[in-house]
Amino acid sequence: MSQTIPETHSHPEVELWLKAAKVAKPNSQSYDGNATSLEYLEIFQGSQQFRIQKDVGSQAFARYCEGISNRSSRIPLLRAFFVKNILPPENNAGDFTAALMHQHFGIPLSFFRELKAFLSSRPMGNALFTRKDRDGNVISIDGYYQLCRDYSSDAGSFVWFSQSLLVNKPTTYVVVQAVDRAKTLIYDCATGSTAMLLRPFVIDAFLLDDSVQRMSDAMLQPRFQFLEDEWTTFDRQASTGEKVAKIKQLHRVVREFRLLRDGLVDVKETLLSLDVAQTQYSKSISPASPRLDTESVKESFALLISKSNWMVRALTSLEDRASRKIDLQYNIENQEDNQTNLKIAKLTTDIAVYTQKDSSSMITSVVMAAVTMFFLPGTFVSALFSMVFFNVDPTTDKLTSASQAWVFAAITIPLTIAVFAVWILWRKQRTKAIENDMMTRSRLQDVDIENGVVQDERSTGGLYRTAKGGEETIPLRQMSDQGAKRKLSTRR
């Protein structure tokens, strides 16, 4: 049957490529063409004249189209189809629903081929086409677009519309994968006031308003979650696992903000495209055509555009603040690690110094130096004066003390004391110089770390960090001022 239905192209430059593209249906999709199910809404001339038909299968839809061909059914002013799953003839496993829609309602098969974007994640874009008759008169404003149905999974709804400017041709909509809430609101409007649904582009306003409202609701939870954590940092007593979990949570929040913002940017572009379509429709209305209310829907579009702009700005700000929060958290953790490493280095140096002082080799060196200095002055004096302490009497063979031995003692004892005094004084000066050098290096490292904190505070816009104890939050600038005061008091 699909082979007997001729296919027409209004824009072959973009339609033929889609026809030639071979995109296989993924196995993950459980689409069964013969089980196609759709609903449709028809609104007729007159007050409260409408029809809603649900659970229409492929065979029932074929009979419905046959009745339209035989002109055995009334022509509605508005016809809207809500389809769950539908694909073009080459991918629909023998279901002719798409081909029948193309034949009887002028829905281009390129729209159904674009639905492969639903299967292969290709972007559909916002299409807008002006249909004209043979005399060049505009007869309808057609187009299609894609809406975000679930921003987290990138699932979408797909809409094709033909806003008719002729009295004897109905306005037609096809909505694939419609959100139930939006569809219910459209049905409620039909049962309450059918005339309101005859306004040009009002179906689009329902669908886009639902998309904006759902994203606004989805924005609340991550926003509140982030605002609770924005002005606090990790507790110093928190474990590594708790800190990692907190960072992961912040990354999830940033992802939520980014996905919502991207979805709203797409909605805003669709709103702007439909606003252009509505303007084109208003310019193309024939003076003989019945005048419909177009201003109210245009005002609704303006409101939705304003909401989208506000939400995009808010999400951009939240995403930037959350990213800065993550960077600040990393910087604070790095600074604390640096301070810990500095303390470890200082303790290691102190241990090395004390170990050097207490080591056996050091003690041996000190003892050897002391023994050497004890004997060196006497040896020097004795050698200098060629002194002989004892004489041998050749007559008696006895040792006798030299008469000038007291001079040796008088010179050697003070000289030995002086040498020991100079050695002890030199050791004290050397130890003091080493300690002063260590303290100077430690202060310079402390200044570098605190300068880094001040620099982070400037780059992060003055965010707060947790003070000792994990309860009070103090601005980073105030903490750096306190550190400077401590350094000044230490130097004094």
Q: Quick one: pLDDT band at residue 480, thresholds 50, 70, 90?
A: very low
Angle at the Cα of 34 from the Cα atoms of 29 and 37, rounded to 5 degrees: 80
Q: Residue 86, exposed/middle/buried by CB under 10 A (0-12, 13-18, 19+)?
A: buried
pLDDT for residue 313:
93
Could you read off the pLDDT of 163-204 as tens digits, one per residue?
988 888 899 999 988 888 999 999 999 888 777 888 999 999
Is the pLDDT assigned to residue 219 strictly greater than 60? yes
Mean pLDDT of 340-357: 80
Could you read off the pLDDT of 252-296 as tens digits, one per residue?
888 888 988 988 898 999 999 999 999 888 888 876 666 677 788
Is the pLDDT assigned to residue 483 strictly greater than 50? no
Mean pLDDT of 303-312: 93
Rounded alpha-carbon distances, angstroms, from residue 135 to 132, 138, 282:
8, 9, 19
Cβ 131 vs Cβ 140: under 8 Å? yes
Q: Quick one: pLDDT band at residue 481, thresholds 50, 70, 90?
A: very low
Q: How far apart are CA 36 and CA 33, in angstroms?
A: 5
Better-predicted residue by pLDDT, 319 or 46: 319
pLDDT for residue 491:
42
Structural domains of the chain in order of their starting residue, each with its CATH number: 1-198 (3.30.460.20), 359-491 (no CATH)
Mean pLDDT of 197-219: 91
Q: How far apart are CA 303 and CA 407, in angstroms?
A: 115
Mean pLDDT of 102-124: 70
Determine which helix (DSSP H) or strand (DSSP E) holds 143, and give its type and residue range.
strand 138-150
Q: Which residue, 87, 52, 289, is CA-closest to 177?
A: 87
Q: How far apart are CA 195 and CA 189, in angstroms?
A: 9
DSSP code at position 233: -
